[in-house]
Structures are given as structure tokens and as C-alpha cells.
Structure 1
Amino acid sequence: MRLRPLTRFICGDDRPKQFCPIFYGGISLLERTRQRLARSIPAAQTLFAMTRAHRHFYVNER
């Protein structure tokens, strides 16, 4: 199943699924991943590599 129709419905645009607040409470896939990592790896030791083209999506992530 493709997620693009769902992300378009939720966000109103064609943003990449990792930046779409799919989870309850408006949490994106990226934020959910960060939360899972935080249980075992300190945030100071966590790095997410992203492109500049997606900056306007991730600049507001927690």
C-alpha cells in the first residue's frame, strides 16, 4: 500500500511520509523513531541525515 494518498489527506500536500503526523497526537514517523531511539540512545548521540530539499519539513520537528 502506498502512503502518498494518506499523507496528502492528512497534510494537504505531498510531503514525504516520514514528516507526516500520522500517529495519534500529531506525531510524525520521524518523531516516533526519535522517541524509540531515546529509550536506549542519548539524544546527543543521535543523528538524522536529511537533505536540504526537505528542510521546510524537518525544521519544525522536535
Structure 2
Amino acid sequence: MALRAAPSYEGFMTALVSHEGDELKEGFTTGMHRDLDLYLPAMENQLSILDALYEEYGLESDEVV
């Protein structure tokens, strides 16, 4: 199920652009990797903060909803 929910690599790149076809331009992949190198560590930091908050206040649940 999760694999079907994830887009293909091409679909992922297409979803990132503002204008159709920009993902085909020279330098797009390099720019995308550069941006992700900045974004992902910041996102990891935010998720660590949320994880600590959930742990501290006992907010984690195994309940299936």
C-alpha cells in the first residue's frame, strides 16, 4: 500500500516544479539536491523536537484510527 502511495521519481520531480517542464531543464536535479541538503536537516531537527514533546507529555499512542 505505501509503495503505491509514493510517486515515481519522475512524478516526484514533476510535483516540485511551478511550471510544467521545468524538471527537464539543465541544472534542475542539481538544484533540487542542493535544496534538499538544506531542507532535510532542518526538518529532522523539527521532527526531533516534536518527538521529544510527545515523549515528555506521553502523547504517543499505538491506537489504530
TM-score (ref. length: structure 1)? 0.28
TM-score (ref. length: structure 2)? 0.27
Which of the pair has the greater relative contact order for Cα pairs under 8 Å at 6+ separation? 1
Rg comparison, structure with higher value: 2
